[in-house]
Structures are given as C-alpha cells and as structure tokens.
Amino acid sequence: MLDLVQASPCATLLASECEMAVLMAHLRHAMDPKMPGKESSYLAFWDPAVLAALLGQSDLDTQSRIEPVLNPAQIRALLGPIARWWCWSRSGRLHEYAVTDLNEPAAPLPLHLSAAQVDALVQGNVPDLLIYYVHLNQVHLRDKLPPLAMHWFARQQLVLARRYGLTGTRDLLNYLCLALIGGARVDQIPEVAALLLRVKARKLSFDKFMDEVGPKLENKDLPEPQVLTAANGLPLTENQLPL
C-alpha cells in the first residue's frame, strides 16, 4: 500500500478515540453538505485530492500550496472526532491534519457550502477529470507523461486553454490532447496560433478548429509534451505561466 500511495494520491489514514460506529456516523453526516439552491452532492473527502482542496495542503517538492476551500470552523466540523488525519500528496509526501491545531469552534453539520466554495471544488477537480477522460478514451496519449507530471501539465494547459475562451469539458479536453500531441506551447506554432486567435474572437468554433488544425500539424517535427518549469526546475504554477 505504501508503494502505491507514494505514486498516486489514493488513500488516507485517520485516527480517533471514539467507537467505530460513532466515527462512521460522523463521516456519513459530513459527506452530505448543503449546496446553494436545491442541488445535492457528496463531499468525497476520502479522495486525497479532494481532501487537500478542502483542508489545504503545502507541497515542499514544488514549493506550492493549495489554499483550503473550507473556512476554519468548517474544517473543525469536518474533522469532528478525528484526532489525526493523514494523506499522501501527489508527490508522495505525507501530510497531517490535526484537531489540536485548531482553536476555532466547529460549524454545524451538515456543512453549508457557498457558491464560491462549490466552484473552487469543481475547478480543483477539472485536471483529474480531464486526465481520467484521456486515460479512458485516448490510450495513445495517456502514457505521454508520468502521473505527477501529467497533473501539472493538465493544470498548465487549462490556463492556456482558458486564455482562448475555452470553458466546456469537451473543449478543454481537446485542447489538452492537442498539447499532448504538439507540445506544451502548441499554441505558439504559427499555424495553430492563427486559428486560436479566430477561436478567441469567436469567429471559429473549437470543434471546427479541431477539424482544421490536424492537417496543419502533419509532417511537423513536434516536441514531446513537457511540464513548463522555472529556472529552479520546479513546475510553474497557474499565476507564473508566461503570456
């Protein structure tokens, strides 16, 4: 299990002094938040990537930080009777959350999530969602990068895609696949750049763009996809990406 969790965020470990039935009842109650409007959803905190978004997480390997979606009172409510909660990051580092670190009184359960919090959780999950679809439908592209690099590559390409006005899952996925084929700055290939400017100006749909861009990349010596990095070799975060 340790070999597996150090390569992919797929497990969490928690400790509590309460009886298992009490702990399970708390977790079941916590997983059913109140959403804006009438929507309903599960709070999938058993997924370490979601837990990191909920509680926040720093990563020494990349010198980056995920800011917590929940406020301190909500974090205290989610932890509840849990004394220690550990999870492994994408880079294999072990992170610990502890109730003793919080002096904030707990918010009531179920948690009431604001529209901004829901949006932050959704946006935080988009890279994993796109990678899932790549693995599912684009077998020839899924091994282009190892898991951690693929995550960072997807995060970076999402920023570049949105600069051209792309928002839907289908368009974002197609842009990611294009970058896996044509390299991290496929948007700087002159023929591609010209088409993307038409997409940005809403003179060309992205579906039509995908039809037209293929022939323009044929017989070109295209670079392998790579994560864009700073001078120190660390991945560029979203706000560090060049224009």
Task: Tell me if 86 sits within 8 A of 12, measured CB to CB.
Answer: yes
Over the stretch 147-163, which tens digit does the pLDDT of each residue have? Answer: 889 999 999 999 999 99
Q: Kindly tell me if the per-residue pLDDT of 101 is higher than 70.
A: no
Total domain count for the chain? 2
Domain that holds residue 178: 118-240
Q: Where does a domain end: 88, 113, 138? A: 113
Amino acid at 89: S
Q: Kindly tell me if the per-residue pLDDT of 102 is higher than 80.
A: no
Over the stretch 174-224, which tens digit does the pLDDT of each residue have? Answer: 999 999 999 999 999 999 999 999 999 999 999 999 999 999 999 899 999
- Indicate if 126 and 184 belong to the same structural domain: yes
- Indicate if 45 and 148 belong to the same structural domain: no
Over the stretch 2-42, which tens digit does the pLDDT of each residue have? Answer: 777 766 777 888 999 999 999 999 999 999 999 988 777 88
- Indicate if 89 and 124 belong to the same structural domain: no
Q: Where does a domain end: 85, 113, 141? A: 113
Task: Tell me if 86 sits within 8 A of 95, measured CB to CB.
Answer: yes
- Indicate if 102 and 15 belong to the same structural domain: yes
- What is the C-alpha radius of gyration for the chain, rounded to an integer number of angstroms? 20
Mean of the per-residue pLDDT values of the chain: 90
- Indicate if 46 and 70 belong to the same structural domain: yes
Query: What is the C-alpha to C-alpha distance for residues 130 and 122, in angstroms, rounded to an integer?
Result: 12
